[in-house]
Amino acid sequence: MFVSQVAKSWEVKLRKKSFHSKTVVLDRKQGKVLLALPQTYMNYSGHAVKGILEGRAIKPEHLLVIYDDLDIPLGEIRIRTEGGAGSHRGLASIIDEIQTTKFPRIRIGIGPIEDKNESIEFVLSKFRQQEIPLLEQSLKAAQEALGFILDGKTEKAMNLYNKRKRRQDPCFVEPVLE
């Protein structure tokens, strides 16, 4: 959803099939950006990512992986510059294939889930109508964070978006972007 949303907002189409992905290369103010949507099964995302990195001579630290995360509440995102895969098999595949955990990522919350044994069914199911506003909120935040990261302001993005929200707190206010 996120990659499709970004492509739409950037007014580009993910068409070219290369590296087991639908891709498009575009010029942004920050330079060339390769937007890719892997066409492998999620658990084999590493094949697509490795192909992209090797085929385009891209260093892992210039890779940005965006993925869903059951451990983060729906409506929230987290940004990391490196780290393990946790229970995410797609991210584990990427780490296994490119042999490093040192690449940035945006984790889009889709949780929580009570029974981790039902995670496959949960991830593949559609969002309920009442969840759509929270989903849109997290996709919007992730796209804003992407802008900061492309501008070289990853720390700023992390400071803005890595705070856990206290939804029950009536005084909670969203971060104001410059």
Q: Which fold has domain 2-161?
A: Rossmann fold (3.40.50)
What value does the mean pLDDT take over residues 59-86? Answer: 94
Q: Is the pLDDT of residue 175 over 60?
A: no
**More reliable by pLDDT, 166 or 134:** 134
Question: Which of 65, 55, 74 minimizes the C-alpha distance to 35?
Answer: 65
Q: What backbone torsions phi and psi does residue 67 show, to the nearest 5 degrees?
A: -150, 160
Provide the whole-model pTM: 0.86
**Rounded to 5°, angle at Cα 26 from 10 and 32:** 125
